[in-house]
Chain A
Amino acid sequence: MSLTSLMFIIFVLTAVIGYYCIPKRYQWLWLLFFSYIYYLSTGARTVYYLLITTASTYLVGYFMSRIQKDKDDRAARRVNRRLLVLALLLNFGMLAYLKYTNFLIANLNDLLHAQLNFKDLLLPLGISFYTFQSMGYLLDVYWKKCEAETTPLRLALFVSFFPQILQGPIGRFSRLGKQLFTSHTVDWEQMERSFLLILYGFFKKMILADTVAPIVDHIFGNPTQFSGVFMIIGVLGYSAQLYGDFSGGMDVVQGISGLFGITLDDNFKRPFFAISITDFWHRWHITLGTWMKDYVFYPISLSKWMSRFSKYLKTHLSKKLGRTIPICIANILVFLIVGVWHGAAWKYIIYGLYNGVIIGISGLLTNCYRDWKKALHIQDKSHGWHIFQILRTFLLVNISWFFDRADTVKDALFMMKNTILNFHISVLWDGSLLMDNTILHIQYRYIIVIAACLVVFIISLLQEKKITFAQSIYTWKPAVRFVLYLVILFVIPLLGQTPMAEGGFIYAQF
């Protein structure tokens, strides 16, 4: 069931209306019921994987908390550690097997000139998202950051809650669980905000992302045909597409969830206003970043072997390096995983490493930066410096997109080389921008994309200045709001595009 289908709209309306009509104590069961209907309607053949994850998460979480209560601390920790490792191996093993087997086979075939057959594996919908969410919960229970859930069906709802299962955000039990299981009464203000958020999400997805997508596809699909200016158009277009698609999808998801009175964690916070790559990852796919930080980065950095390594460096090199090098290694590891998470291909690994290395280097050089800034008399708080930082980060992020979007690492490098050595500024006015009209209505597309970017930019700028769009709108007169919603509702079909592939959100395939 695609998020943009008529069926999904009917489905959501039924779920919402029913949710507030039935007795309050059954509300969470109602959500569970609809979550499973949703999952079965899209991924019936792979529902077993979801069930295995749910069951193993529930059982391990439950027993860990029992053991923590019954046994003394040390013994409990030993048993629990085994249970935890078992559950992690099972669930991440499933994920890895389904997602990476064919990648492994392809590389083995290449390396050993072997002829291994590819496996016909169906990737369960949302597996990356629900696996991460469930395992985060187990680690929280293990670290006693949250109580284990005792009712199996409640845990099943936490794992499968339908608005978020397909493309996140990756929720935390301590925040999401509470909201899922308590009863909700109609909150009109939240309803209206959610409705606006859904409209804004579709606006970003259909008017920004889907309009620019064919241009981006065409350029990245034929890298040798185009000169440098097109590479820049392609990569900037990809920025707009990816942001519109993913953050638009998130707005829709958060909006739908909000209709049930449930607030999901933010996944985006105006990423293109970031002042460093670190900051970018605090604003882009936030829930993946914080998940990686809490469940990979800290545990690795604080592990026994890492602290031994740190001590070794401290005695043999310097105190400072002994402190920072292990952090950099953990950081690069995290981004390696982030890269692999995006897909089983070398280009994603490079993409992850690129981010990890930049963050690592800037971490190592923090003190040098401080000295340089002092020497150059740069005021940290000045506008000019702030804008410079934003532009620098934007440039670095766009370079990373080449790896993310190009078909292969080779293509990505070729395109980057082309950007610099084969610029051809004249294509801007000699009509080449129309690309021989291979893309339908391309001149309108350019205009619509630029206009949509402007709208999104202004809204983001206001939000950066702490003027929250939705909240300030709510102070307007009802009639004005009414007209605004009507206008957005009709602008979506008026200016939006249908994607080539059916109803696809880019992140729904992870």
Chain B
Amino acid sequence: MRNSKKYIWIGLFLALTICINLLLNYVLLPYSYVRCDTHHLTEGGYQDIYVGTSHGFAGIDPLQTDAITGRKSTNLCLGGEYLCDSYFLTKEAHRHNPLKRVIYVLDPGYWVTEPSQDSSYNTLCQSLPWSKVKLEYTAAKMLKADFRTTLFPWYNYRKDLLKPDVIQHNLTTKQSQEYKDYSIKPFDSTGQTYTEQGFMNIHRVENAQKTEQNLKLWNEADLIPKEFKYFNKLKSYCAQNQIDFVVVTLPVPKETLGKYQEQFDAAHNYFTQMMQAQNVTYCDFNYVDLSSQGFEATVSNYNDYDGHMYGNTAQKFSQILGEYLNAQDLAMS
């Protein structure tokens, strides 16, 4: 066979691979709120953003904080969001919005656990619109990941191939007007409501069974260098762009705190010292007297022992957070 014919075969092979891949992606990848988050960023007008882990995702309602700070903010916290993700989210946000402040929600457990290459691993990367930031992010996050996670994004949803109803649901959602409009309606369920501001409002359920299965405990020996690297990147990015940088740790239920006192104390000491040395404003709300401000950190106000708040708990806490941010703002100016 002549060489030119070979190249045609190779080209055809690649083209077919891409087509089948796109088709499987379309059928299997669900509509994700991350797509809404990144879309909202392009609409502009945000001064504050919250980045970080799922505690922030379920714990900060920007409507409540904004009412007190007088700013416009959005919540970019996500389950499985590591500092690498937060850093590039911040860059993406700053591309469209002249940011004044970045609030990083620190969960010590994330600093000692490697990200698992599950379905949440590449959602953000796929949701970002094409730009230099997306390329940088892809290089940082995807190059070292398994090629199935990166080249075959449907890989993590393949078991849904056996569930026609899920596929049906994906297809109807993706063809709907709501999808084209980046609507948040499809994310409503009996258990939770997602808001335009990126806040996941978890509905209170009385007498619910609560677990601690997602709790990641602090252990200094397991610290991951990559988190440091991106913490420093995020910090200096903010400094370069005159963006205030604040770090907070959201309160977990008292019950959890009591049970794992030693680990939480160690984490508190470690990060307090680290932030002091780095000259970064830091507040660990586990060690602030919140009950005097009307907030009760008992597990009855949480969805689980890990520290995901119920919606109305989160709204109360967000007011306290707003006051804290105001006070910090005064202190800085």
Contacts and interface: CB of A to CB of B under 8 A. Distances in A.
Is there a direct interface between A and B, measured as CB atoms under 8 Å apart in the complex? yes
Contacts of A486: 13, 16-17, 20
Given A188-B6, A493-B155, A498 B146 contact: yes
Majority SS of interface residues in chain B? helix
Contacts of B6: 188
Contacts of B158: 493-494
B155 A6 contact: no
A496 B145 contact: no
A13 B159 CA distance: 31
Contacts of A490: 20
A6 B151 contact: yes
Contacts of A206: 148
A492 B148 contact: yes
B159 A441 contact: yes
A44 to B, nearest CB: 14
Interface in A455-510: 478, 482, 485-486, 489-490, 492-494, 496, 498, 502-503
B288 interface: no
Contacts of B155: 493
Contacts of B114: 502
Contact of A482 (B13, B144, B148, B152): B13
A493 B148 contact: yes
Contacts of A6: 142-147, 150-151
A507 B278 CA distance: 42
Contacts of A492: 148
Interface in A386-417: none
A4 interface: yes
A2 interface: yes
Given A493-B148, A493-B152, A498-B117, A482 B9 contact: yes
A75 interface: no
Nearest to B152: A493
Contacts of B3: 186, 188
A2 to B, nearest CB: 7
A21 to B, nearest CB: 14
A498 B13 contact: no
Contacts of A188: 1, 3, 6
A459 to B, nearest CB: 22
Nearest to A441: B159
Given A441-B159, A494-B158, A498-B117, A5 B146 contact: yes
Contacts of A8: 147
Interface string B84-119: 000000000000000000000000000000100100
Contacts of B144: 1-2, 5-7
A382 B314 CA distance: 78
Contacts of A503: 146
Interface in B122-163: 142-152, 154-155, 158-159, 161
A4 B146 contact: yes
A502 B115 CA distance: 11
A478 B13 CA distance: 12
- Of B16, B117, B144, B159, the most chain A CB neighbours within 10 A belong to B144
A504 to B, nearest CB: 11
A210 to B, nearest CB: 10
Majority SS of interface residues in chain A? helix
Contacts of B146: 2, 4-6, 498, 503
A5 B13 contact: no
A502 B1 CA distance: 41
B148 A498 contact: yes
A435 interface: no
Contacts of A10: 143
A2 B12 CA distance: 28
B247 to A, nearest CB: 28
Interface string B1-29: 10100100100110011001000000000
B147 A485 contact: no
A441 to B, nearest CB: 7
Interface in A321-376: none
A489 B9 contact: no
A188 B161 CA distance: 36
Contacts of B150: 6
Given A486-B16, A493-B152, A494-B158, A5 B117 contact: no
A5 B17 contact: no
A451 interface: no
Contacts of A502: 114
A7 B143 contact: yes
A485 B6 CA distance: 15
Contacts of B1: 188, 478
Contacts of B143: 5-7, 10
Contacts of A5: 143-147
A237 to B, nearest CB: 22
Given A188-B1, A493-B155, A494-B158, A478 B147 contact: no
Nearest to B150: A6
A6 B148 CA distance: 8
A496 B149 CA distance: 12
Contacts of A441: 159
Contacts of B148: 4, 206, 492-493, 496, 498
B148 to A, nearest CB: 4
A89 interface: no
B167 to A, nearest CB: 15
A255 to B, nearest CB: 15
Interface string A123-157: 00000000000000000000000000000000000
A1 B147 CA distance: 12
A191 to B, nearest CB: 9
Contacts of B151: 6, 9
Interface in B171-199: none
Nearest to A478: B9
A8 B155 CA distance: 19
A1 B149 CA distance: 16
Interface string A30-49: 00000000000000000000
A8 B148 CA distance: 13
Nearest to A497: B148
Contacts of B16: 486
- Of B1, B3, B147, the most chain A CB neighbours within 10 A belong to B147
25 contacts: A1-B144, A4-B146, A5-B144, A5-B147, A6-B142, A6-B144, A6-B145, A6-B147, A6-B151, A8-B147, A9-B151, A188-B3, A206-B148, A478-B9, A482-B9, A482-B12, A482-B13, A485-B13, A486-B13, A492-B148, A493-B148, A493-B154, A494-B161, A498-B117, A498-B149
Given A5-B143, A5-B147, A489-B17, 8 more contacts: A4-B146, A5-B144, A6-B145, A188-B6, A482-B13, A486-B16, A493-B152, A498-B146
Interface of B: 1, 3, 6, 9, 12-13, 16-17, 20, 114, 117, 142-152, 154-155, 158-159, 161
7 shortest interchain CB distances as A-B pairs: A7-B143, A493-B152, A493-B148, A6-B150, A493-B155, A6-B147, A4-B146
